[in-house]
Amino acid sequence: MNDNNPPATWADRAVGVGAGLASALLFVVSSRGSSLAMALAYFSPLPMIIGGAGFSFPGALFGAAAGVALLAFAAQPPFALAFLFGFATPALVLAGLMQVRLRSRDPNPAAQRFVTPGEMLAAIVGLAILVAAFGVGSLLVHYHGFEPAMKAVMKHFAPALDEVVKGLAPVSDDFDAVAIKRLVIMSAPAGVAASQTLLLAANLWLAARTIEISGRLRRPWPDLPENVVLPRFVAPVFLIAAGLAFNGGFVAVFAGIVAAASGFGLALHGLAALHGLTRDVSLRSAWLAALYAAVVILEPWSVIVLAVFGLVESAFSLRARKARRMKTQG
């Protein structure tokens, strides 16, 4: 770790520019439609975060701008805008936050601190909400309203929606096919918000670890099981949004976006808390392996359980209570 934050060299700036262009290239690959191409697209923010946080933020910014311009010229402007708002902007924001020092009221320079992992996770939740809301807002503007947008999207995805309805037909003969299709479409933005939260969190973790291994991490590597603590306002925001998500219309869609992103953030909070709370438990590795297996097998129910545990941990600070108890006993 280099905590002195030396000025970037021209080589650093070149790496930053290359990282921005590499992110754009990974995004272009997703247009091929294959499973491998889509998997690579999920990691398109990774080079930009590494380049911006570990080498040169201005370089990564210039590379991202160049990538957007090339996409607009070689593909289509909407494709370039999707990369700009869906991948490049969140990656640059996270890269910048990794280097930001927050001043405290203490005049001592040593009292300054970096943005905490919990605050970074809250930023990821906010970015995921903005990305999903931008997509919905674009549709509403393009089709001049919520109902025209719903009809257009349902018509565009009619074959896939018919398959969903056909799959549910054996469950019950007494259901409204149109209502089911409408529910699926209205739930899609929430799925985007949740997946965007996971995508950004995974890319940020991989980028930070990569930069740390290279010796260019300009901040102390935090103890994630103890420090992934979301700000307390996230829990009430989730609860309010989850309640509003059961209303109809575009309010339900936007509330679902907020509930999905903040709920997934709380699930990651809960997962980190379980790592911290089980540190002195015998056979901890086996327990954690079983936990991750359950998360994969029982998804999405496992994510809901983790989110509920994250709510409990956020309300009662279980890790902090355990730390105080251990300190008292020690």
- 121-152, pLDDT tens digit by residue? 999 999 999 999 999 999 999 999 999 999 99
Report the helix count and the strand count for the chain, using DSSP H and E: 16, 2
How would you class 216 by CB atoms within 10 Å of its CB: exposed for 0-12, middle for 13-18, buried for 19 or more?
Answer: middle
Report pTM. 0.91
Degrees (nearest 5) of the Cα angle 109, 115, 119? 145
Which band of pLDDT confidence, cut at 50, 70 and 90, is reported for residue 249?
confident
Q: Which residue has the higher pLDDT, 220 or 196?
A: 196
Tell me the mean pLDDT in the region 310-314. Answer: 94
CA distances from 172 to 167, 176, 300, 318 (A): 10, 10, 23, 43
Average pLDDT over residues 190-211: 95
Average pLDDT, the chain: 87
Evaluate whether 139 touches 153 at the Cβ level (below 8 Å): yes
Neighbours of 223 (CB within 10 A): 12
